[in-house]
Amino acid sequence: MRLKLVQAGEPVLRETARPLAREEILSDSIQQLISAMRETLRDAPGVGLAAPQVGESIQLAILEDLPEYSREVSAQDLAQRERRPVPFQVIVNPRIVSYGDSKVEFFEGCLSLNGFMALVPRSREVVLECLDERGNEQVIRASGWYARILQHEIDHLNGTLYIDRMHSRTFMTVENYRRYWKDSQS
């Protein structure tokens, strides 16, 4: 079942989502939500989706960066972004416990700001603690594009959008990004 993606301006996107108890994570309703979110993410397509983006103010997000999503990205751009496929993953109640020293800037978009992009600085590396879809504790060490996706989705769980972190003069439509910036970003 495909879920409706809420867009900027919806109050749920600006709330701090509530944590989930282990029993809730294992419930049929949350397991069904995870499945529906996965279908919605793939249909969009996107690389991450947080529960607030489908109207649920809970600390739950999913990630998946399939190889076919970067098929049209040059090998040089993939290397520069440190972008590698990320298998399907569920993060619940995530908390970033460490940020790397270096920051990198790349353009980001968002399924809840459909049709726009901007240059956003993010930490190149993060370490986070969370629960998985079975309520098991996880420690995730991520770098490159994977770290960027995690930071973006965790921001959603805390009521933050990429436009809160972007370089405001770089905010543009996806069409203008493709026309003027896609091949010139360093």
Work out whether strand 116-123 and strand 172-173 pair parallel, antiparallel, or are unpaired: antiparallel
Q: 97 burial class (0-12, 13-18, 19+ CB within 10 angstroms)?
A: exposed
How far apart (Å, rounded) are the C-alpha atoms in residues 110 and 139?
25
How far apart (Å, rounded) are the C-alpha atoms in residues 184 and 45?
24
How far apart (Å, rounded) are the C-alpha atoms in residues 155 and 16?
9
How far apart (Å, rounded) are the C-alpha atoms in residues 136 and 132?
5
> Per the residue annotation, which of 108, 125, 133, 153 is the catalytic one?
153
Residue 129 is among the residues annotated as catalytic for this protein: no
Active site residues: 153
